[in-house]
Amino acid sequence: RTVYLNGEYLPENEASVSIFDRGFLMADGVYEVTSVLGGKLIDFDGHAVRLQRSLDELDMRSPISKEDLLEVHRELVRVNEIDEGMIYLQITRGAPGDRDFVFPDPETTTPTIVLFTQSKPGLADNPAALKGMKVISIEDIRWGRRDIKTVQLLYPSMGKMMAKKAGADDAWMTEDGFVTEGTSNNAYIVKGNRIITRGLSNDILHGITRAAVLRFAQEAQMEVEERNFTIEEAKDADEAFVTSASTFVMPVVEIDGVSLGEGVPGRVAPRLREIYLEESRKAAI
């Protein structure tokens, strides 16, 4: 596999980063995951815009222009022959000569940028989407700026492990009883023809897939309500689902051992998945 590191295309085993990199020492970095379908990028623009916002919020400069970034994504897809899969992009504040809490001078320390591909044949025809996911609920104990897509993923990682131990597929996090989001996705419930999801704030990541799905839902005459909902309300819903760049729309059929509806994917989530895949393929670049 060929990867991209600071302006160079390299075999993955020849790409290395300093032990003083602040991404490594302090999780001082941001990332994006863009999916690839039919060798094309899904919503590259959305990811590029959110990346710039994450960098701005952390006072970090981008080491690359948006045009060059697109070129790197395309080149990696080409050389690694990715038909379906993901591109992971990470920018960290770089490696000053020593460990220090104070941000280094951006004139002397340039950010580290890494991109690599992950081939996932069958990403769109994922059999998991037919079965639906089981989730457990856990307390959301993350920091207060979840809108910034940082590489601080320890708690989401622990959440997935808690889910796995409980025989579930993922965890939904709650704060004051209200669902914030999944460990790596946005969370939704469905009541009748209405889709309910938490509104945007610093409490959740502003999902790129979320924005697209809500737009498609409205275009398909479905009702969308952006508001907080409790885990109890979720257990009582007709359907539930999650969205993310790597899973698109994924039905949720069980919450904390409680089956939703018939305990199988309902009507709305599979339909939204279909629309999302169709529209995204059309708009892919």
Residue type, 263: G
d(CA 12, CA 117): 10
Nearer Cβ to ligand PMP (166/200)? 200
Nearer Cβ to ligand PMP (112/280)? 280
Q: Which run of H or of E encompasses 47?
A: helix 44-57
Q: Which run of H or of E encompasses 187?
A: strand 186-191
Nearer Cβ to ligand PMP (194/206)? 206
Q: How far is the CB of 184 from ligand PMP (least distance, A)?
A: 4
Alpha carbon 162 to its chain centroid, in Å, reads 19
d(CA 138, CA 90): 27
Cα dihedral 257, 258, 264, 268 sign: negative
Q: How far is the CB of 14 from ligand PMP (least distance, A)?
A: 28
Cα dihedral 223, 229, 232, 235 sign: positive
Nearer Cβ to ligand PMP (92/186)? 186
What are the tokens at 65? 């222009």
Q: How far is the CB of 245 from ligand PMP (least distance, A)?
A: 3
Other C-beta atoms within 10 Å of 75: how many?
14
Q: How far is the CB of 141 from ligand PMP (least distance, A)?
A: 13
Q: How far is the CB of 142 from ligand PMP (least distance, A)?
A: 8
**Active-site annotation holds for 149:** yes
Nearer Cβ to ligand PMP (90/184)? 184
d(CA 5, CA 115): 7
**Contacts with ligand PMP, residue ranges (CB under 6 A):** 33, 181, 184-186, 205, 207-210, 243-245
Q: How far is the CB of 109 from ligand PMP (least distance, A)?
A: 27
**Please, which residues have CB within 8 angstroms of residue 249's CB and are 6 or more apart in sequence?**
129, 209, 213, 241, 242, 243, 269, 270, 272, 273, 276
Cα dihedral 115, 170, 175, 271 sign: positive
| Active-site pick, 40, 131, 149, 164 | 149
Nearer Cβ to ligand PMP (169/181)? 181
Alpha carbon 197 to its chain centroid, in Å, reads 16
Which positions are annotated as active-site residues?
Answer: 149
